[in-house]
Amino acid sequence: CDLKFKGQSFLERNPRQVHGFVKDVAGSRVATVFGKWDESIYFVKGDGTNKPKDSTSSSDASLLWERIKPIPNLTRYNLTSFSITLNELTPGLKEKLPPTDSRLRPDQRHLENGEYDRANAEKLRLEKRQRMSRKMQEDGWKPRWFEREGDDGPYHYKGGYWETRERGNWDGCPSIYGECSEDTSNLVEEL
């Protein structure tokens, strides 16, 4: 798909427009994509010769994307709508995630719910747990699904994550958000 974006400008009559074409393997136009990049984007099959002027002038247009409206009480979160959707746990997703996924962080949940005191207490608990786990790992942490190239090279995926996710079997994955106690024997088993 070749897309062109028009920016915001005082001279532009129709600012924030996006328009483009979807092409097949031969390079022929088979569909048109159009809309406003900050409101909504639509898709219409065809070569684009009858380009609609806006989203309401074509009954054949399919909505591809629409901006999520701002959340009420936005100051409560101090996060953008987009930031909150990154942390969203949609139905059926939680069961597929490893226990180390940041979307499972309880302090984040409390923050999103406007429970600042609980969020802060939970953050302090997690930091304490992290310090304790570092003390227990004398040789450092070894990634499960990545291996390092040389002593200081980049990490490369070695496989296994998607298969583990498909099975939903996270045995051996530490429960990094679990309870924290002064007794570190249960922490050693988890790590």
pLDDT tens for the 191 residues of the chain, in order: 889 888 777 777 788 899 999 999 999 999 999 999 889 999 999 876 665 555 445 578 999 999 877 666 655 656 666 777 778 888 888 888 999 898 899 998 888 788 899 999 999 999 998 888 888 777 777 888 999 999 899 999 999 999 999 998 998 888 888 764 444 444 334 43
- Cβ contact 99:170 at 8 Å: yes
Residue 74 is predicted with a pLDDT of 59
Tell me how far apart the alpha carbons of residues 131 and 148 are, in angstroms, rounded to a whole number.
24
- Cβ contact 176:100 at 8 Å: yes
- Cβ contact 64:43 at 8 Å: yes
Domains of the chain by residue range = 2-66, 74-190
With CA atoms as reference, report the closest residue to 42 among 56, 58, 57, 62. Answer: 62
With CA atoms as reference, report the closest residue to 79 among 113, 112, 101, 123. Answer: 112
CA 191 distance to own-chain centroid: 26
Model's pTM, two decimal places?
0.53
